[in-house]
A and B are shown apart, each in its own frame.
Chain A
Amino acid sequence: MDIFLERLFDGVTNGAVYAIMALALVVVFRSTGTINFAQGEMALFTTYLAWWLTTVGLPIWAGALAAGATGFLLGAVVERTLIRPIRRRNDMASLIVALGLFTAFNALAGLLWNSETKPMPSLFPAGLEDFFPVAGARLYWDALGVWLVVLALIAGVFFLFNRTRLGLQMRAVADNAESAALSGVPTGRILMLGWGLAGIVGSLAGVLVTPLSATQLSLTTMFPILIYASAAALFGGLDSPVGAVVGGLAIGVLEALITGYVEFIGGTLPQTAALVVIVLILLFRPTGLFGTRQLERL
């Protein structure tokens, strides 16, 4: 029972991180209609930045703030300079640009901070003794911290989308950019803000997950998370923030239970398992759980 609970806690913690990353993907998809493959590597870059700031003596929360700010800037600049000019051309062009960014940001992080693995300090107390027992299982403070951040983030995103003028404009642009523009919404600025917001959310995911990750901070830290987050976003429906969170948690818990209990897959095929999920969802329910079906006008 206690082993099951611990696996469940692990799953929820990982799932929370996937949910954050999936949220970033969903925000971009809603604003621009594309999946930003580079989201994970942009987050990797800002996480390296946060790590670097801690090595020069700043506390980790300052590093996290700086990572968030850089994430916002990167997202906004990438949208304005690279995505917007080619958006109208076709899917392929924005995918190629995203692949280019993916490669470039990963290599740039390696170039600036070399490819050795780096231990990353946590935002929360993360000692071996920093836990409290729940029915015989250990719930660590840093896991609980991640859960709380996810809750706060979800609340924030919902407040933004449903209760603010900015959120209303974002939804309007996502729904129909031309009508929004005709109604006086500054479409361009809204898209930039959307990408910037996704940048902040992604960076936060990076800073939160690396101290928990077995690999700590290395050049390959974020890619598996991006894969799981894509699976989560697709599972929940690419245009649904609720779906991202539900999908993230579901994938996280499934992953923990499968690696724990299914021997054939075990620890060796985890990404393949997530990807099989992606393919199955795309084949049988392309809109995911909460997504809306897209109509195409001829």
Chain B
Amino acid sequence: MTPIHVRTGSAAHRGLQIAGLAAAAGALLLGATMEAFRVGQLTNVMIFAIAISGLNLATGYTGLLSIGHSAFFGLGAYTTGVMVVTYGAAPMTTIPLAVLLCAVLGFVVGLPALRIRGLYLALVTLAVGVAFPEVVRRFEDLTGGAAGLVIRSRQLAPPEWTGLTVPQRGIWLYWVSAAALLITLVLVRNLTRSRLGIAMIATRDNEIAAAASGVRLATVKTTVFGLSGAVTGLAGSLFAMYVGALSPDGSFTLLKSIELITGLFLGGAATLFGPVVGAFAVVYLPYFTADLASGHVSGVIFGAVLIAIVFLMPEGIAGVAGRFLGRFIRIAPHENQGERP
């Protein structure tokens, strides 16, 4: 069967886009009507989708493997936690600061990437990931140390203009996360189609050839790490509002990084929707295996899944689904747009 060809910008293409958006909106509305526990789970999925999208920028599109994204997630969460608990800030107003701090940290982590790459870069990010919980424990006065940091649910109340009450904060966070995820996806989509995005992919595919073609590797790598950290930090900030209790050994260890990496590769690295698919796996896999032997089963499954993806499905679920859909519908660039590079 020959696939249907659709040109970008044509009426058919617009129709498809609107249908996709409508389906997403419908799914979100349906999710919002579920019981509180399910709404919480879906919120968690969306937060993970944002975090994995951040990782996707560095690891998926630019080929800089990071084992330290748990630190960005943690820094975002702790920034929000400390601002709300110690300084009495409204939760939503802490998001910009969390994003900014994570962007700075990402930029700093990206600096070694100028001299080293591959394996060695992974070691540097590993260093950041392992150091984060220790640093949190060390600066006890600020972070609550090993005992953790508890945000009272009163402090997490939705803003007054929404008319929502404290017990309704679950549904409020659900919509905030949905909005944040939507903004993230739009930004990632536009970024990867921009000049910088093409430079990122060129850097991943062949660094030397990219440099020879005029890509500034230094700018690309540090910028990407900054953006990547910022997006994962946004997820961390929302996560702090979601769980309300932060501890260095709970959610911000290396295992979190491994979860994010598993989610990314299972969902599909360097695809727009791969992180969303991966986030479902990362949230629901431990949930379904939790009652068997205290998490060890999900550890074994995570490990096995990671290895299996490399062998069986290097493009991830979203990649395979995209190829499958490509048999029926091909989206080609607009005629006037010329060939894409």
Contact = CB atoms under 8 A, between A and B. Distances in A.
A and B interact: yes
A77 B191 CA distance: 42
B311 A86 contact: yes
Nearest to A107: B299
Given A111-B296, A111-B297, A99 B131 contact: no
Contacts of B135: 269, 272
A296 B207 CA distance: 12
Interface residues of A, number: 41
**Is chain B's binding surface mostly helix, strand, loop or mixed?**
helix
Given A91-B118, A275-B130, A282-B124, A99 B208 contact: no
Contacts of A100: 302-307, 310
A268 B134 CA distance: 7
Given A95-B65, A279-B127, A282-B124, A268 B119 contact: no
Contacts of A96: 65, 261, 265, 306-307, 309-310
Contact of A271 (B63, B65, B131): B131
Contact of B65 (A92, A108, A278): A92
B169 interface: no
Interface string B141-157: 00000000000000000
Nearest to B124: A279
B138 interface: yes
A268 B137 contact: yes
B27 interface: no
Interface in B62-102: 63, 65, 67
A286 B115 contact: yes
A273 B322 CA distance: 45
B65 A230 contact: no
A227 B128 CA distance: 12
A168 to B, nearest CB: 26
B32 to A, nearest CB: 34
Contacts of B298: 107
B122 interface: yes
Interface in A55-87: 82, 85-86
Contacts of B304: 100, 104
Contacts of B65: 91-92, 95-96
Contacts of B294: 110, 115
Contacts of B297: 107, 111
Interface string B252-268: 00010010010001000
Q: Which one of B118, B120, B127, B314 has the greatest number of beta carbons of chain A within 10 Å?
A: B127
A269 B314 CA distance: 38
A134 interface: no
B121 to A, nearest CB: 8
A295 to B, nearest CB: 13
A107 B127 contact: no
Contacts of B122: 95
Interface string B294-338: 111111101111110111001000000000000000000000000
A148 to B, nearest CB: 31
Contacts of A82: 307
Contact of B123 (A86, A103, A272, A278): A278
Contacts of B63: 92
Contacts of A86: 310-311
Contacts of A92: 59, 63, 65, 118
A195 interface: no
Interface string A258-298: 00000000001111100110110011001000000000101
Given A100-B307, A271-B134, A272-B131, 18 more contacts: A86-B310, A91-B118, A99-B303, A100-B305, A100-B310, A103-B300, A227-B126, A268-B138, A269-B131, A269-B135, A270-B134, A276-B127, A276-B131, A278-B124, A282-B124, A283-B115, A286-B116, A296-B208
26 contacts: A35-B123, A86-B311, A92-B59, A93-B314, A95-B119, A95-B122, A99-B306, A100-B302, A103-B300, A103-B306, A104-B307, A106-B299, A107-B295, A107-B303, A110-B293, A110-B296, A227-B130, A234-B123, A269-B131, A272-B130, A272-B131, A275-B128, A278-B123, A283-B112, A286-B116, A296-B208
A-B pairs, top 10 by smallest CB distance, nearest first, are A107-B299, A104-B303, A100-B306, A275-B127, A103-B303, A100-B307, A111-B296, A91-B118, A110-B296, A272-B131
